[in-house]
Structure 1
Amino acid sequence: MVAFSDGVIAIAITLLVLEIHPPHDTSHLLHGLAALWPSYLAYVVTFMLIGQVWANHHIMFDHIRSVDRVVLFLNTVLLMGIAFLPFVTSVLAAAIRDGQGERTAVVLQGSAFWFMDLLFNIIWWYVRRDRRLLAATIDSAGVAAISRRFRLALVWLATGTLLGLLLPPLGVAVIAAFIPYYWLPIAGEIAKVRRRRGRRNAT
């Protein structure tokens, strides 16, 4: 299941670059390339956010021992949202370039990522309420740390989406600020890994 998910994520993240169309007028190529900055911006933000989705997907499923049909279904819905992101990126770039519809485009992007984070929260809530689905690699403190990180993302993305409805550049900035913070390690989860390594070295 994780391998299939990686494949869908890899395809979605690769398709992003296909939304950047080269300038038709090569006689003023430098100006044409510079004018594509909305596409570059949408590409970078969405690429890094999908990268976070991939990283957090692995962090979550590294601690899931087995899955049932409910988890498979929820993960499929999550992948459906990921596959939708190249379209969202294209809409955002076009809106910024044309100077029209920016509010709708930022709300669309923020809502798409909020929906995916909602799926992360639901999947994690489902597996942690029944410890038989969780691996022994994580204790209750690690479970709580991951839960807090996922819940904070819901608030963060919702805030960026609502701000985008009022002031699109601010909404994009808040959503983009989500990137560096969520690449930080999850303290409780990392601590557990270090303890396991320490025990292996001692033996």
Structure 2
Amino acid sequence: MTEPDHGSDGPGASTPFGAGRDPARVVAFSDGVIAIAITLLVLEIRPPHDTSHLLHGLAALWPSYLAYVVTFMLIGQVWANHHIMFDHIRGADRVVLFLNTVLLMDIAFLPFATSVLAEAFRDGHGQRTAVVLHGTAFWVMDLLFNVIWWYARRDRRLISTTIDSADVAAISRRFRLALAWLATGTLLGLLLPPLGVAVIAAFIPYYWLPIAGEIAKAQRRHARGNRT
């Protein structure tokens, strides 16, 4: 792999297309975008205008609360899985930078999709379109996860030498399953919006579970540390 370019060749130097860069900078920038997107979600929940019936007004905002919780937890999973993926990527070339930028563009769109979802369920109109929009945004994001991971692991050119083939396969299976899961929820939302949201929400507890072998390996590392 080409050595990272640290800008030591002067202002006129150009970086080769395939040059690797420290992925820590990619992760730091991504963390910032994700933090902003997840914070913006709460701005969609607007206080009721009629404070004379405040309790009723707050209760009527349940679609906003639901959309907020589901999207917040899903973006939290995005953040966690982004770290898992880049923990094993040792270099980020320009293709990875481009794909990650498109991924972040999709993440930045999520507060809007969440607002549309909540508004549709509050008004009782356009729910199918809103669920499809929301689900598609997450499906595209997971598609980009799969593309980045596939590109990085191809010929093991960008992934760390410390990850074995079984772990690479486990991460790949998790990402591919997400594609099918989110697509199913989105299509069901086209037929029955509440069911589509329920299927997408069911994605949350499952994907917070550790990837196969993750706990066992952590325990082995802890045991080795205790022996030393």
- Coarse TM-score class (shorter-chain normalised): over 0.9
One-letter amino acid of the counterpart of residue 39, structure 2? T
One-letter amino acid of the counterpart of residue 124, structure 1? W
Question: Which position in structure 1 is the counterpart of 2:40?
Answer: 15
One-letter amino acid of the counterpart of residue 98, structure 1? D
Q: Secondary structure at the match of 2:213?
A: helix
Percentage of identical aligned residues = 87
Question: Which position in structure 2 is the counterpart of 1:166?
Answer: 191
Question: In 2, are the aligned partners of 1:9 and 1:82 still within 8 Å (CA)?
Answer: yes
TM-score (norm 1): 0.96
One-letter amino acid of the counterpart of residue 169, structure 1? P
Distance in 2 (CA, whole Å) between partners of 1:198 and 1:117 is 34
Question: In 2, are the aligned partners of 1:38 and 1:94 still within 8 Å (CA)?
Answer: yes
Q: Secondary structure at the match of 1:100?
A: coil
Distance in 2 (CA, whole Å) between partners of 1:106 and 1:60 is 28
2:75 aligned with 1:59, yes or no?
no
Question: Which position in structure 1 is the counterpart of 2:75?
Answer: 50
Question: Which position in structure 2 is the counterpart of 1:151?
Answer: 176
Question: In 2, are the aligned partners of 1:138 and 1:192 still within 8 Å (CA)?
Answer: no
* Candidates 194, 211, 217, aligned match of 1:186: 211
Question: Which position in structure 2 is the counterpart of 1:38?
Answer: 63
TM-score (norm 2): 0.86
**Number of residues of Structure 1 aligned to a counterpart in Structure 2:** 203
Structure 2: tracts of 5 or more residues without a match: 1-25
One-letter amino acid of the counterpart of residue 119, structure 1? L
Q: What value does the CA root-mean-square deviation take over the aligned residues?
A: 1.2
Deviations 1:121-144 (A, max 9, x none): 001111111323111331110000
Distance in 1 (CA, whole Å) between partners of 2:165 and 2:141 is 24
State how 1:103-122 maps to structure 2 within 5 Å. Answer: 103-122=128-147
One-letter amino acid of the counterpart of residue 11, structure 1? I
1:76 deviates by: 0.4
Of 185-194 and 4-13, the range deviating more from structure 2: 185-194
Structure 1: tracts of 5 or more residues without a match: none
One-letter amino acid of the counterpart of residue 96, structure 1? F
1:110 deviates by: 0.6
**Rg larger in structure:** 2
1:194 deviates by: 3.7
Question: Which position in structure 2 is the counterpart of 1:24?
Answer: 49
Q: Secondary structure at the match of 1:187?
A: coil
1:200 deviates by: 4.0
